[in-house]
A and B are shown apart, each in its own frame.
With several copies, the nearest count.
Chain A
Amino acid sequence: MVWTGLSPDAAREALVNKDKSMRDKRMALKEAVALFIKDGDNIGIGGFVNIRQPVAITHEMVRHGFKNLTLSFQSAGLAGDYLAGAMMLDESRFSIKRIELAYWAHESFGLSPMFRYLAERGKIEMEDWSNYNMSARFKAGAMGLPFLPTRSPLAGDVPSSNRTKIIICPFTRRKIALVPASNPNVAIIHVTAADKYGNCIIRGTDATCPEIAMASAHTIVTCEQLVDHEVIASHPKDVGIPFPAVDAVIHVPFGAYPGACRRHYYFNGDHIRRFHAAAAPMQKGGASGALKAYYDEYIYSIDTFGDFIKKFPADKLMADQAAESYNCQRPA
């Protein structure tokens, strides 16, 4: 097995045949998820740990139900958790077959009980890489290359856990690693602002969102702000993802919540802990009741991500906005 998404030749062919024109790509999130994601797809997940993860898109994916997905990311937190939690509850409704990853946990918010549950029971294939490996793999895919060379990690057990090939550099005669491109079927990305054509502005870290979007056959983008094209085009160097890389644009305020989004809101740590607490019993061998209750309340019983956000008290949402406005002070 070399390619788990599209091969480089297939990725080029798909892009060549795609309608890359500048057209209105706004649609409902439900529609985008149903239109572009299929069972068995390799999904490239944007953001980094709990920063700008495509949380709203994962909720909609859970509601829709998909089977045998491959998830590709460098470091994920909530996006992985929401998909994995659905699998913990009912594998016939939602399942992940394989993950290609560098890190799945929550830094100061601790380990992911969902990842531990699936991994320690042997329920998913794992392929471990480093953050730079996964970033370089998406970048190779975005550049239209079959691989990129890297100097890390090169030694230890990471290279033997995956498809890295170590060669002798023909110029230096020293060892160097080649990591194969990742060209996912669908990229799921949350950005700070976008226009209706899909030109995206990302504040704070780009993470590897531009690379994942350019590498994938299709890209679904949710955005905190939907702005006129003229506003974005007046600062073209701010555009991190250009419109031809994007297939669907959905305006979803708080789309990365309870994670953080630069200039908009800081982490809701309480809710992250509450979500994890609901999964912890199953990870420890206990019952699914708490996790099922969480999914019923926050995902299955509602129709849109807007309904999820409405479950938070306005003063809590405003407090998380205020915390971010302290991190990043600027007049409106």
Chain B
Amino acid sequence: MTDGATYTAQEIIVVAGSKIIEDKKIVFVGTGLPMVATLLAKRTHAPGLIPVFEAGAMGPPLNAGLPISVGDSKTFTDASYVKGLNAAFEMTQRGYADFGFIGGAEVDMFGNLNSTMIGDYPGGYQKPAVRLPGSGGASDMAASCERTILIVPHDKRKFKEKLSYVTSPGHLDGTPNARYNTGLQGKGPYRLISTKGIFDFEEKTKRMRLISVFPGETVESIQAATGFELLVAADVKLFAPPTREEIRLIREEIDPNGVFVKKSS
């Protein structure tokens, strides 16, 4: 590692996520690691980033620290605008969210996400093997943010050929204009960050494509942990490991209590 920091899989996700966000853009922030990545971006290269949370806050400076919910009191203090859920989603539908930052339990090669159930849909819908929380706002963000950044821990059982249930639409079946033709807005999944690397979605096929490999992984090790065939960019990059300063910010300033970024023990 460049300057010798040790870090966890969650920490490198946070660092990668923060780097993908651009400064001065409006970012619709989902719960969990996206919040940590957003704070890290705001404190490093993107001080002009404008966070939006689905419970209704727009543009809070987040000076009171890391929210533990997207409706947390910390998201409202000194915000520029505070309404409720309808207003947040209406703004997104209108085109105000440049980026949406969402997670899921399963992902397929077109960036569709499942956060509803594990089991057989529709046959087993009313008695799923595992019942997950449900869409929340994820499917709305996936439908209407201009570009989405997905976060899914890398695991063969999570990177699947076919999802149990499609909660949040990505590039759908990958056919040209698939999103537009179903009435969706926005360009859909832009990047996916896993615990092993960073992916984009190839222009023509809309298939997931490895563009950056985290330290310790290879194209082969990542394909081996993926339940479908990955595309691989011609110039796959080695992602630079987090710096000591990034790790310090995460551990000491942003999430000192390990609310979302678990302490390695």
Contacts from A to B (Cβ < 8 Å) = 11-13, 15-16, 19-22, 48-51, 74-75, 101-105, 107-108, 111-112, 115-116, 119-122, 125-126, 128-133, 135-136, 139, 142-145, 150-158, 160-161, 166, 174-177, 197, 199, 203-211, 214, 230, 232-234, 236-237, 239, 242-244, 260, 262-263, 266-267, 324, 326-329
Collect the chain A residues with CB atoms within 8 Å of residue B91's CB: 144, 214
> By DSSP majority rule, is chain A's interface helix, strand, loop, or mixed?
mixed
Per the CB 8 Å criterion, the residue count for chain B at the interface is 80
Q: Among A207, A237, A242, which residue has its beta carbon within 8 angstroms of that of B71?
A: A207
| CB-CB contacts below 8 Å: B85-133 with A | 85-86, 89-96, 98, 112, 116, 121-122, 125-133
Closest 7 CB pairs of A and B: A152-B143, A175-B183, A206-B84, A144-B94, A105-B133, A122-B127, A144-B93
Q: Among B79, B126, B139, which residue has its beta carbon within 8 angstroms of that of A125?
A: B126
Tell me, in angstroms, the Cα distance from A102 to B86 when the chains sit together: 13
Taking a contact as CB atoms under 8 Å apart, the answer to whether B80 and A128 are in contact is no
Tell me, in angstroms, the Cα distance from A327 to B62 when the chains sit together: 9
Knowing A16-B98, A131-B135 touch, does A154 contact B93 (C-beta < 8 A)?
no
Knowing A16-B146, A48-B55 touch, does A208 contact B185 (C-beta < 8 A)?
no
B24 to chain A, nearest CB (A): 4
Q: Among B56, B92, B121, B259, which residue has its beta carbon within 8 angstroms of that of A206?
A: B56
Q: Among B48, B84, B133, B134, which residue has its beta carbon within 8 angstroms of that of A209?
A: B84
Collect the chain B residues with CB atoms within 8 Å of residue A208's CB: 84-86
Taking a contact as CB atoms under 8 Å apart, the answer to whether B73 and A204 are in contact is yes
Taking a contact as CB atoms under 8 Å apart, the answer to whether B79 and A233 are in contact is yes
Collect the chain A residues with CB atoms within 8 Å of residue B168's CB: 153, 156
Knowing A48-B85, A152-B139 touch, does A104 contact B133 (C-beta < 8 A)?
yes
Q: Which of B79, B146, B172 has the most CB atoms of chain A within a 10 A radius of its CB?
A: B79
A77 to chain B, nearest CB (A): 9
Tell me, in angstroms, the Cα distance from A21 to B47 when the chains sit together: 11
Taking a contact as CB atoms under 8 Å apart, the answer to whether B86 and A328 are in contact is no
Whether a CB of chain A sits under 8 angstroms from the CB of B242 is no
Taking a contact as CB atoms under 8 Å apart, the answer to whether B89 and A177 are in contact is no
Taking a contact as CB atoms under 8 Å apart, the answer to whether A177 and B135 are in contact is no
Q: Among B77, B80, B184, which residue has its beta carbon within 8 angstroms of that of A155?
A: B184
Taking a contact as CB atoms under 8 Å apart, the answer to whether A128 and B50 are in contact is no
Collect the chain A residues with CB atoms within 8 Å of residue B79's CB: 233, 236
Chain B positions 177 through 218: 1 when the CB is less than 8 Å from some CB of chain A, otherwise 0: 001111111000000000000000000000000000000000
Collect the chain A residues with CB atoms within 8 Å of residue B227's CB: none
Q: Among B32, B81, B133, B139, which residue has its beta carbon within 8 angstroms of that of A153?
A: B139
Collect the chain B residues with CB atoms within 8 Å of residue A129's CB: 135
Tell me, in angstroms, the Cα distance from A214 to B90 when the chains sit together: 10
Q: Among B58, B68, B92, B142, which residue has its beta carbon within 8 angstroms of that of A108?
A: B68
Q: Among B73, B94, B129, B135, which residue has its beta carbon within 8 angstroms of that of A120?
A: B129
Q: Among A22, A120, A157, which residue has its beta carbon within 8 angstroms of that of B48?
A: A22
